[in-house]
Amino acid sequence: MHWLQDPALSAETWLGILLMVVAELVPSEVKTTVLGIFLFLMNSIGGNIPVLVDSLSKLVGSYRTALTVFFPAFVAISMSTSTIVR
């Protein structure tokens, strides 16, 4: 069972790096506001993904198909927003 814990411990290491990058990109006067808005949006979007996947899986009849639809869609959204920010 120990082999399951190692990936789980290292899976969330990106969050600290991401918050540091966001904090370094904004002026110090609005740093806490931007981090608060960022975490709110990240939790709002990420918290609703299971609801969307479950709804789509009931519509198409397969959980695997729903995940196959959502994964490329969110990769494309991520790529398009990263090019806008640059």
Q: 53: which 2 tokens?
A: 């996947």
**pLDDT tens profile 1-35:** 565 666 666 666 777 888 888 899 999 999 999 99
Least confident residue range of 4-18, 39-53, 65-79: 4-18
- 3-class SS of residue 8: helix
Secondary structure in 3-state letters for 25-59: HCCHHHHHHHHHHHHHHHHHHHHHHHHHHHHHHHH
pLDDT at 84 exceeding the cut of 60: no
C-alpha 7 chain-centroid distance: 18
pLDDT for res 31: 93
Contact call for residues 56 and 69 (beta carbons, < 8 A):
yes
Domain ranges of the chain: 2-85
